[in-house]
């Protein structure tokens, strides 16, 4: 089946200060990408963007701007006035791996998109379209979770509350002045890289590090989903960033998970 571009139902109330949502038709469509045209608001004013599967969040972005930074990191195409929610991973070179996380809906009861519009927005509008492919069930899914961390001190900090279980694809640490990251699993250090070294390797693999915004930890640098970090049997998992200043870090973790 060739790909189709279809309009989606309207969002519920779209106005400054409103919570709005859109319910996607299920039972047949396989969603590869959702494109949302927006006006009257900045990406930063589109907040708490969530994709919910049967009522449970599977992707959560703090703002539309955070979503765009992550898309930019992967070099995904973009157009001014449109933000994209990707179900597939277009940066993967293997076509099966690229499409394996599409949102098939043959086994889905409810799929929806939710967001908050900041009260400072001026006459906001939202209009969504989808790129769909042949019907199939949803088996694997990219999950995006947020784990805010606040440190009263600078230097190396120990973050041990990142959930284990699904494979970890990547983590994006949104703080501008992280200089180094170490990762330990079950007391074994297996990742230790300065920000500059990590970004050099990421650029070699076709990534576009958002250096002024985040420090990226990427386990799919060679675009092989099989290299996602296995955490299912881990008893302990720690990310240890070195912070040049104290303050807040928004940690955005991408998981590869099987749909229950």
Name the residue among 254, 203, 252 with its Cα closest to residue 225: 254
CATH architecture of 143-258: Sandwich (2.60)
pLDDT of residue 2 exceeding 80, the answer is: no
Please answer whether residues 31 and 102 qualify as being in contact, where contact means their C-beta atoms are separated by less than 8 angstroms.
yes
pLDDT of residue 243 exceeding 90, the answer is: yes
pTM of the model: 0.96
User: pLDDT category, 260, cuts 50, 70, 90?
Assistant: confident
Extended beta strands in 152-213, E state? 155-156, 167-174, 178-185, 188-194
Domain residue spans in the chain?
A: 4-138, 143-258
How many Cα neighbours within 13 Å face the side chain of 225?
Answer: 22
Check for a shared fold between 4-138 and 143-258.
yes
Summarize pLDDT for 183-195 with one digit per residue, the tens.
Answer: 999 999 999 999 9
The tokens describing 89, both together, are 């991973």
Chain-wide mean pLDDT for the chain?
A: 96
Average confidence (pLDDT) over 22-44: 97
pLDDT over 90, % of the chain: 97
In 132-208, which residue ranges form alpha helices assigned H by DSSP?
Answer: 195-204
Q: Give the count of beta carbons closer than 10 Å to the beta carbon of residue 120.
A: 11
User: pLDDT category, 1, cuts 50, 70, 90?
Assistant: low
pLDDT over 70, % of the chain: 100
Q: Give the count of beta carbons closer than 10 Å to the beta carbon of residue 150.
A: 10
Summarize pLDDT for 84-106 with one digit per residue, the tens.
Answer: 999 999 999 899 999 999 999 99
- What is the Cα–Cα distance from 237 to 61, expressed in whole angstroms? 23
Average confidence (pLDDT) over 57-65: 98
User: pLDDT category, 222, cuts 50, 70, 90?
Assistant: confident
* Eight-class DSSP state of 227: G
Average confidence (pLDDT) over 5-22: 97
Specify the fold of 4-138.
Jelly Rolls (2.60.120)
């Amino acid at each position: 089946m060739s790909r189709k571009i279809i309009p989606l139902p309207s969002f519920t109330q779209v106005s400054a200060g409103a919570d709005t949502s859109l319910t996607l038709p299920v039972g047949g469509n396989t969603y590869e990408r959702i494109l949302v045209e927006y006006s009257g608001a900045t990406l930063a004013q589109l907040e708490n963007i969530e994709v919910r599967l049967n009522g449970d969040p599977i992707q959560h972005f703090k703002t539309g701007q955070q979503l765009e930074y992550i898309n930019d990191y992967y070099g995904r195409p973009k157009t001014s006035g449109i933000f994209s929610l990707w179900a597939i991973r277009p940066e993967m070179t293997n076509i099966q791996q690229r499409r394996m996380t599409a949102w098939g809906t043959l086994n889905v009861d409810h799929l929806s998109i939710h967001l908050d519009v900041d009260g400072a927005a001026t006459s906001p509008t939202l209009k969504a379209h989808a790129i769909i492919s042949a019907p199939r069930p949803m088996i694997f899914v990219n999950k995006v979770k947020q784990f805010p961390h606040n440190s009263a001190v600078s230097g190396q900090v120990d973050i041990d509350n990142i959930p284990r279980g699904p494979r970890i694809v990547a983590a994006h640490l949104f703080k501008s002045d992280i200089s180094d990251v170490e990762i330990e699993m079950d007391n074994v250090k297996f990742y230790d890289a300065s920000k500059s070294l990590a970004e050099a390797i990421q650029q070699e693999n076709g990534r576009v590090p958002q250096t002024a915004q985040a420090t990226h930890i990427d386990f799919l640098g060679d675009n092989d989903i099989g290299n996602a970090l296995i955490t299912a049997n881990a008893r302990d998992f720690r990310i240890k960033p070195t912070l040049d200043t104290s303050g807040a870090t928004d940690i955005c973790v991408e998981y590869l998970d099987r749909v229950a």
